[in-house]
Structure 1
Amino acid sequence: MQARQLPLHRGFAWLKEGLQLWRRNPALLTFASFGYLLMLLLVSVVPFIGQVLASLLMPVLSLGVLNTCQAIAKGRKAGPDVLFSGFQQNLPALLMIGAAYLAGSLLVLLLTALADGGALLQVMTNGGKLDPEIATSAGFSVALLLAVTLSTPVMMAYWFAPLLAGWWNIPAPKALFFSFFACLRNWRPFLAFSIGLALFGAVLPGVVLGIIGMASPTLATLLSVPLPLLLIPMIFGSFYANACDIFGEPEDESAQA
């Protein structure tokens, strides 16, 4: 498995290509994107085991969204059931990837307890209320910084892992390994992607809505409602774009393991 090394500017192109993919079939990609989020939300509220189940199913359902993107890109007919297609593609490896991501995330939260006495851990796991004094404390700030720093390699290992396991039938440890080093090798375009996502997904819409809100708060509120309907599917489409850019697709000779 060979991960291509891409130039910085490709990170900005992924956002454009994600938007173009959404424009080809807005209804299907929007359904898959919000269906993914809704399914994880519904599973996570199951008492006692909800959070664990949601983590285990996250790679399976995310692969379904990527399969939806692939169907749109290839011009194939696909229905809403494509969201659940991940259950038919190397399911044991996908569940193992979810378990590894859950274990890594919990380890990160446990390590943050060294800085803030477990405040962030309690908020993230039990949904507890955060005392304003704790939120402004130096220890909690250090814990947040530690969480971001330590969770980055966990996310890097997860980023491409569901796709690698599902499309190439790669075992979970190997998929996590390849995903981490593919992200590491392409840190420049991912940095550009993050900057572009922050600018066009948060800063620019916030500025525009803020200006409109000074003239008409009601209009600004109305315009903010459909914004996620565009941004979230576009972001999922950009995930597909960067995966294909770096690894290609199984049909491509260059993408074969």
Structure 2
Amino acid sequence: MQARQLPAQRGFAWLGEGLQLWRRNPALLTFASFGYLLLLILVSVAPFIGQVLASLLMPVLSLGVLNTCRAIDAGRKAGPDVLFSGFQQNLPALVAIGGLYLAGSLLVLALTAVADGGTLFGIMTSGGKLEPEIATSTGFTMALLIAISLSTPVMMAYWFAPLLAGWWKVSAPKAMFFSFFACLRNWRPFLAYSIALALFGAILPGIVLGIVGMVSPTLATLLSVPLPLLLVPIVFASFYANARDIFGEPDNAPEQA
């Protein structure tokens, strides 16, 4: 199990490859993507332990979405039950990844208290109201910058971890270790990928809807409704595209660069 080091331009291709994958089976991929989101939302609203359970299940269900993409990519027939296939693939490690990711996220939020006295931590963990004067304060701005800076390595450690644990059967710490360094090694294509996501997922649709809204606000509203149905599964498919590009698959792993 080795990670390729890819050129920057590959990052721009991942979103297009996600679109191609979605076009091969839009119904199944849309079901898996929104089923993943809906299940996490439903679990998270459970009293007391909902947020913790959602964090623990997130790697399991995300592996189910990746398995959906893998089945479509290989041309295999798959049904809606593939979303739950992660429960059969190294479940203890997947749950441990969710726990480590939750712990890392909470630690990052706790460290932001140095800047704003715990305001951001309270809002993110208990859903407190953000007052306008707080949002514009220097301390809160610093807390946001700290959160973004420190949460980036946490996200890097999580990014590939579910598929590494599920497909290669490695332990949670090892999966997160390899995920972090694979992202670090490929920071250039990931930067290009982030630009592509911002451009095609937010900026261009916003410009188009803004222009349409100037002509017909009603039409702009109608066009904005199905937009997530298209963008969300394509973005999920692009996650699979970058994972396949960097790590390959267990039966076709890339050689060490």
Q: Which amino acid aligns with 1:7?
A: P
What is the 5 A alignment of 1:67-216?
67-216=67-216
Q: CA deviation at 1:131?
A: 1.5
Distance (whole Å) between structure 1 residues aligned to residue 51 and residue 23 of structure 2: 33
Shift of 1:251: 1.3
The one-letter amino acid paired with 1:227 is L
Extract unaligned runs of 5+ from structure 2.
Answer: none
Q: In the aligned structure 2, how far is the partner of 1:196 from the partner of 1:247? A: 21
Percent identity between matched residues is 82
Cα offsets for 1:209-242 (capped at 9, x unmatched): 0000000000000000110011000000000000
Deviation at 1:153, TM superposition (A): 0.1
Runs of 4+ in 1 over 6 A off after TM superposition: none
Q: Secondary structure at the match of 1:77?
A: coil
Q: Distance in 2 between matches of 1:68 and 1:239?
A: 12
Amino acid at match of 1:124: M
Residue 238 of structure 1 corresponds to which residue in structure 2?
A: 238
Secondary structure of the structure 2 residue equivalent to 1:254: coil
The whole-number CA distance in structure 2 between the counterparts of 1:211 and 1:157 is 40
1:174, 1:130 → 2: CA distance? Answer: 38
AA paired with 1:195? I
TM-score (norm 1): 0.98
Instruction: Report the 3-state secondary structure (helix = DSSP H, G, I; strand = E; otherwise coil) of the residue aligned with 2:249.
Output: coil
Displacement of 1:130: 1.0
Alignment size in residue pairs: 256
**Could you list the runs of 5+ residues in structure 1 that have no partner in the other structure?**
none
Counterpart of 1:6 in structure 2 is 6
The residue identity in structure 1 corresponding to 2:116 is D
* Deviation of the 1:254 alpha carbon: 3.0
Once the two structures are TM-superposed, the CA of residue 10 in structure 1 deviates from its matched residue by 0.3
Q: Is the 8 A contact 1:247 1:255 kept in 2?
A: no
RMSD over aligned Cα atoms: 0.9
* 8 Å CA contact 1:36, 1:61 repeated in 2: yes
Find the aligned partners of 2:26 and 2:130 in 1 and give their Cα distance: 39
Separation in structure 1 between the aligned mates of residue 144 and residue 255 of structure 2, nearest angstrom:
38
Note closer, same or farther for the CA distance 1:42–1:31 as it changes in structure 2 (3 Å cut).
Answer: same
Alignment check: 8 A CA contact 2:108 2:150 kept: yes
